[in-house]
């Protein structure tokens, strides 16, 4: 079955520590992959997409086709990174549907 898995419901780290939010997918073909973030009292917004290979707010995500993973990483977490993070493959290309993982709540402690 096609699915996206975020194994950690909650991830708690101290400020300045590295952080990795895991995402594994099982979709046929090569889906486009995205990370979305929802800060407290804000709407859901795009954080980054794998096709652009960019770093946003210090976060990067590498697509590993062999492991079918798209983990989100940041070397030094900041308190303002505390939020809900969703891994989301775009199933079916540009006309397809964005399917969300269950999300990981990141809490960065001072």
Q: Which residue stretch of 17-25, 54-62, 67-75, 90-98 sits at the interface with another protein (rule: CB under 8 A)? A: 90-98
CB of 75 to another protein, least distance (A): 26
Q: Where are the beta strands (DSSP E) in the chain?
A: 3-5, 10-14, 19-21, 24-26, 32-38, 45-49, 60-64, 69-74, 83-91, 97-98, 104-109
How far from each other are the two terminal CA atoms of the chain, in whole angstroms?
40
Among positions 20-79, residues that touch another protein (CB under 8 A) are 32, 34, 43-46, 49, 51
Return the number of the residue (17 or 51) whose C-beta is nearest another protein.
51
Q: If binding means CB under 8 A, how many residues of this protein chain bind another protein?
A: 19
């Amino acid at each position: 079955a096609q699915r996206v898995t975020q194994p950690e419901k909650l991830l708690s780290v101290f400020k300045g520590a590295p952080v990795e939010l895991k995402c594994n997918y099982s979709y046929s073909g090569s889906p486009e992959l995205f990370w979305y973030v929802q800060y407290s009292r804000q709407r859901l917004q795009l954080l980054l997409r794998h096709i652009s290979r960019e770093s946003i707010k210090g976060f990067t995500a590498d697509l590993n086709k062999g492991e079918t993973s798209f983990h989100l990483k940041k070397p030094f977490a900041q308190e303002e990174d505390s939020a809900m993070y969703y891994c989301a493959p775009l199933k079916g290309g540009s006309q397809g549907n964005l399917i969300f993982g269950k999300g990981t709540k990141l809490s960065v402690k001072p």
